[in-house]
Structure 1
Amino acid sequence: MLDANIKTQLKAYFDKLTQPIEITASVDSGDKSRELLELLNDLKSLSAHISVQQSDDDTQRKPSFSLNSPGKNLGIRFAGLPMGHEFTSLVLALLQVGGHPPKAEPEIIEQIRNLEGEFNFETYISLSCHNCPEVVQAINLMAAINPNIRHVMIDGALFQKEVDERKIMAVPTIFLNGQEFGHGRMGVQEILNKIDTGAIKKEAEKLSSKEPFDVLIVGGGPAGASAAIYSARKGIRTGVVAERFGGQVMDTMTIENFISVKETDGPKLAAALEEHVKSYDVDIMNLQRAAALVPAHDNGGLTEVKLESGAVLKAKSVIIATGARWREINVPGEKEYRGRGVAYCPHCDGPLFKGRSVAVIGGGNSGVEAAIDLAGIVKNVTLIEFNGELRADAVLQKKLFSLPNVTVITGGQTTEINGDGEKVNGITYSNRQTGESHRVELAAVFIQIGLVPNTDWIKDTITLSKFGEIEVDDKGQTSEPGIFAAGDVTTVPFKQIIIAMGEGSKAALGAFEHLIRH
C-alpha cells in the first residue's frame, strides 16, 4: 500500500510517539476493506507503539477504523481510506493519539478542554478536496483533547448511499449530533466559535482593547501578506485582520505561473505566506470579517475598522486587500440549489458526481480547466460559454476538444438552473443567435465565470469603479487620505497572484510614506 519513500518518512515521524496507539478496524470481505487492512498493517510495521486489531461491531461503517490509547475513550474514526489529501489528517491524528503535543495555541487547547456537553461530529469529504483536511484535522484535534468530542471522517465516494440519503452535494459537509452543522473550510477557532457561544463576545472585547496600529491590513491573501511583510520591515506597528488567511488562493489548486516556483498549489502557497508573515512582528487576527470603515477625518485622526463580531480596530493608516469571490450568474435556481448541485469548486465537489452528467458555465481558463478535470470523473460534461468562442488559453482548448465526453456550447446564455425542490436536475440555456431554448438533464452545475470584488462593506466610504473595484493611484492610495488598497479588490488590471503581491508591497510603501509625511 505505502511505498518505500513514504514508509521512511513516516518512520521518522513515528519516532516522536511516546505512548501506545490502538487501531481497531471494522471490515468486511470487500476490496476496500482489504486495502484498508494492508494500509493499517503497513503503519503497524513502522512503530512498536502501534497495534492493529479487528472488531465485530456491526454498527460501525465498513471499512472504517478508530484510533485510541489504552484506558482512554478517544473519539477519532476514519470511514474509508484516508489517502490523497486526507493522508496528512491520518498522520497528524496518529501523532496526537500517540502523545505528540498538538500544534495549537495554549488558550485554544484550554478552550477545547473546557467544553461541556456531548459533541458527535461527522464530516463527509472527498479525497480530492483540498478544503476538507483542515476540517478533519481541526475536529480530530478537538476529539484528541476532549473525551466529550467524537469525530468520524466519511469518504462520500465510498459511502454513496449515505450521501444520497442525507442529500449531500458539496464537501466538506459537517454534521453535529445528527444535524447539519456547516459546509466548507473551517478551522478550529471557527468551529469553537459556533459551539462555544461566549467565545465571539470575548474575542471582540479582546480585539477592541488593542492599541491603534500604524498600519492595519484588511485581508490575508497575497496582497495582504506582502503588505504586512513590507510594513513590518519598516519597524512600525502592523496588524492583519482577515476572514481567512490565504484568501481566494486557498481555493486554487494548480499554480504554474508564480515566477521562480515551477509548480505549487494554493493551500501550500498560503501556508508559506502565513509562515513568512509570522516571522515578523505582525499581529494576525484571523477569522474576522470586516463590516464597516470609518475614515480618519470622521474619527479624530484615526481610521476605524468595524468587524462583524462587534469589535472595533483603530489605525493611523489602513490597507484594504479583501480580494474577490466567485462571481454568480444570478439566474433562478442558483441560490436555491447552492450546495445541492450548484458548486464553485470542481476539485472539491467533483467526486460526488462520479458517473453522472454535469455542466460548467464559463469558457475562460478556470472554466476550461474545470471541464478538463471533471471529464476524468463524471460521465459527461457540458461546457456553456456566453460569448461566441472560448476565451481560454490555446493549450487548454486543445486538451478540452480532445476529450470525448465533453460537449462545448458557445453563444449560450444560461437562463435557469433546474431542480426538483431538493437538488439540481438540469440546466436551461438559450442560443443567443436564434433565441431557441434548450434544457440539459444533469446532476450538477459548476460556475466558473470570474470574480467580484469584496467591497460591499465600504460602499459610500471610498470611491469605487462601476464594477465595484476600489480606485487607486500609482501608490495604492484611495480617495481617502491614509487609506490604501491592493490586489484583486482594486481597479489594477490582470488579477494574478504575483501582481497582487507587488501591489501589496507598493501599498505598504505608500502607507509608510503617508505616515512619515503626516
Structure 2
Amino acid sequence: MAKNYDVVVIGAGPGGMTAALYASRANLSVAMIDRGIYGGQMNNTAAIENYPGFKSIMGPDLAQQMYDSSVNFGAEYVYGSVESIEDKGNVKIVKTDSEEIEAKVVIIATGSEYKKLGIPGEHEYGGKGVSYCAVCDGAFFRNKNVVVVGGGDSAIEEATYLAGIVNHVTVIHRREQLRAQQVIQDRAFANDKIDFVWDTNVTEVLGDDKKVTAVKTVNNKTNEESEIKTSGVFIYVGLLPMTEPFANLDITDADGWIKTNDQMATSVPGIYAIGDVRQKDLRQITTAVGEGGIAGQQAFKYVEALSSKGQTEVSH
C-alpha cells in the first residue's frame, strides 16, 4: 500500500523546507523527500552573509535551523531519490527508488547543479577558492585578484559584480569573443578592473593545502601553456536543472527548466515548482524561500478546493 499525504515536497533545500513549513502549518499532511541531507547547497557554503536576520551564518547552521522549523508542524522527512511522478488527476503518484507515495499536491524543489569544467583541482578546491556564485562568495575575495571562467551573460554579469568588490578580475574565455548580450559586454569592457584572456581553456586549478593560488591555462590556437595567479576561480559554464524525473509531465522548456506562473503552478493542476529548478534569473536562498511560502499556501488552497468539491478520492 502506498503512503498517502496531502502534499509531497521533492527537495529539502531552502525552498522545499519553506513549502513544507507553510503546508504543514496549514494542517496538511506533508512528506518532504530528498536524496541527501536537508539544506541543499547551503551545506557547501562556508558563510552566508546575504540572508536577512543574520549578519553572517554558516551554511550548515542555517540549513539546520530551517529544517527544525520545517518539521515543527508535523512535516515528515523522507530519504529517497524520486524517479518519476504519475499524474492521475486529483492524485499524484510519486515513485522513489524504494516506494510509491500518493499525494494531492506535489511541489518540485529539486534545484539545479552547476556545470563543471571537469579539471584537476576543481573539486578539491570547492569552497576553498573555487566558486559558482559571485553573489554568494564574492565578499570573501575583497581586495584580491580572481578569475572568471566563461563568456555568457552570467559570467560577464558576475565579473562586473565582482569588480565592485575585488581588486581585479580576469575573464578567461575559450572563444575569441563573448556570447553575452552586447550591453553586458560593453559594461565589462568599460571597467578598468576587468581584463580578458581569449581563446583559452583552464586546464587545472592549483593551490596549497588551504586555498587556491593559481590556474593553469592553454591557448587553444597556439597550444601555449600559462599560469595565472589568483585567489579565486568563479566558474560560469552553465547550469543544469535537475528535472529528468519529470520529463513525462511536459512542464519544462527546451533547456529543462520548469515553467510556472507567479503562483508557482505548472501546467499540470496540483503540481508546483519552486527555487532553482524554475525558469528564472535570480537563484538565491531568499528567492527560494519566498517561492516556497507561495507554493505552500497555494497547496493549501488547492486541497481545500478539492475538498469543497467532494473530489478528494479517486478510483485508480
Instruction: Check whether TM > 0.5.
Output: yes
Q: Residue 273 in 1 paired to residue 66 in 2?
A: yes
For 2:161, the equivalent position in structure 1 comes to 392
C-alpha distance in 2 between matches for 1:281 and 1:232? 6
Could you tell me which of 81, 87, 93 is aligned with 1:295?
87
Residues in 1 aligned to 2:251 and 2:223: alpha-carbon distance in whole angstroms? 40
Partners of 1:318 and 1:363 lie apart in 2 by 29
Highest RCO, 1 vs 2 (Cα 8 Å, sep ≥ 6): 2
| RMSD of aligned Cα (Å) | 3.6
Post-superposition offset of 1:397: 3.0
Aligned CA distance change for structure 1 residues 243 and 345 (closer, same or farther; 3 Å):
farther
Q: Which residue of 1 aligns with 2:235?
A: 448
CA 1:342–1:443: 2 relative to 1, 3 Å: farther
Please, which of 338, 341, 346 is the counterpart of residue 126 of structure 2? 346
How many residues are paired up?
269
Instruction: Name the structure 2 match of 1:66.
Output: none
Q: Is the 8 A contact 1:344 1:448 kept in 2?
A: no
Distance 1:324 1:344, change over 3 A: farther
In structure 2, the residue matched to 1:506 is 294
Q: Is 1:233 equivalent to 2:21 in the alignment?
A: no
The answer to whether the 8 Å contact 2:149/2:235 transfers is no
Match of 1:417 in 2: 203
Contact 1:385 1:412 in 2 (8 A): no
**Which of 217, 237, 240 is residue 427 of structure 1 equivalent to?**
217
2:194 & 2:287 partners in 1: Cα distance?
31
1:249 aligned onto 2:35:
no
Letter in 2 for 1:235: N
Q: Match for residue 306 of structure 1?
A: 95
Q: Which residue of 1 aligns with 2:15?
A: 223
What residue in structure 1 maps to residue 76 of structure 2?
Answer: 283
TM-score by length of 1: 0.46
* Gap change, CA 1:292 and 1:264, over 3 Å in 2: same
Q: d(CA) in 2 for partners of 1:366 and 1:502?
A: 18
Unaligned ranges ≥5, structure 1? 1-208, 351-359, 402-406, 420-424
Conserved in 1, the CA contact under 8 Å of 2:13 and 2:109?
yes
Q: Encode CA deviations 1:247-272: one digit per residue, 9 max, x unaligned.
A: 11211222222122222121111010
> Is 2:2 aligned against 1:213?
no
TM-score normalised by length of structure 2: 0.72
Q: Unpaired runs of 5+ in structure 2?
A: 171-192, 206-214, 307-316
Worse-matched range after superposition: 460-469 or 316-325: 460-469
| Cα deviation 1:308-348 (Å, max 9, x = unaligned) | x332221111000111112234xxxx2xx5xx523275325
SS in 2 for 1:228: helix
Letter in 2 for 1:428: V
Distance 2:233 2:302 in 1: 44
Quick one: structure 1 residues 367 and 327, their matched pair in 2 at CA, closer, same or farther if it must change by over 3 Å? farther
Cα shift at 1:513: 1.3
State whether residues 386 and 412 of structure 1, in contact with CA within 8 Å, keep that contact through their aligned partners in structure 2: no
In 1, distance between residues paired with 2:286 and 2:13?
11
Query: Structure 1 residue 296: deviation in Å?
Result: 2.1
Report the CA distance between 1:440 and its aligned residue: 2.8
2:188 is matched with none
Q: In structure 2, what residue type is equivalent to 1:265?
A: M
Matches of 1:281 and 1:361 in 2, distance apart? 36
Asked whether the 8 Å contact 1:227–1:504 carries over to 2, the reply is: yes
Post-superposition Cα deviations, 1:10-64, rounded to whole Å, max 9, x if no partner, equal xxxxxxxxxxxxxxxxxxxxxxxxxxxxxxxxxxxxxxxxxxxxxxxxxxxxxxx
Change (3 A) 1:438 1:457: farther
**How many Å separate the matches in 2 of 1:290 and 1:412?**
42
Q: Deviations over 1:459-514 (max 9, x none)?
A: 23232123321100121111111111111111233111111101011011112211
Three-state SS of the structure 2 residue aligned to 1:347 is: coil
* Alpha-carbon separation, structure 1, partners of 2:114 and 2:124: 7
User: Aligned residues: percent identity?
Assistant: 24
2: CA distance, partners of 1:241 / 1:413: 44
Contact 2:45 2:58 (8 Å CA) reproduced: yes
Distance 1:463 1:217, change over 3 A: same
* Separation in structure 2 between the aligned mates of residue 366 and residue 395 of structure 1, nearest angstrom: 14
C-alpha distance in 2, partners of 1:447/1:393? Answer: 10
The answer to whether the 8 A contact 2:216-2:228 is kept is: yes
Q: Do the aligned partners of 1:342 and 1:447 also contact (CA within 8 Å) in 2? A: no
Counterpart CA distance in 2 for 1:304 and 1:443 is 52
Q: Comparing both structures, which one devotes a greater share of its residues to helix?
A: 1
Larger Rg: 1
Give the Cα–Cα distance (whole angstroms) in 2 for the partners of residues 361 and 490 of structure 1. 21
Q: Which residue of 1 aligns with 2:309?
A: none
**Residues of 1 paired with 2:149 and 2:86: CA distance?**
43
Partner of 1:314, secondary structure, is strand
1:264 pairs, out of 32, 57, 75, with: 57
Q: 1:495 aligns with which of 283, 290, 302?
A: 283
> Quick check: 1:218–1:321 contact (8 Å CA) kept in 2?
yes
Q: 2:253 aligns with which of 456, 459, 465?
A: 465
Task: Report the residue type matching 2:160 in the other structure.
Answer: R
Name the CA shift for 1:494/1:326 in 2 (closer, same or farther; >3 Å).
same
* Cα distance, 1:363–1:278 mapped onto 2, change above 3 Å: closer
Match of 2:180 in 1: none
Paired with 1:285 and 1:327, the residues of 2 have a C-alpha distance of 27
Q: Distance in 1 between matches of 2:132 and 2:16?
A: 28
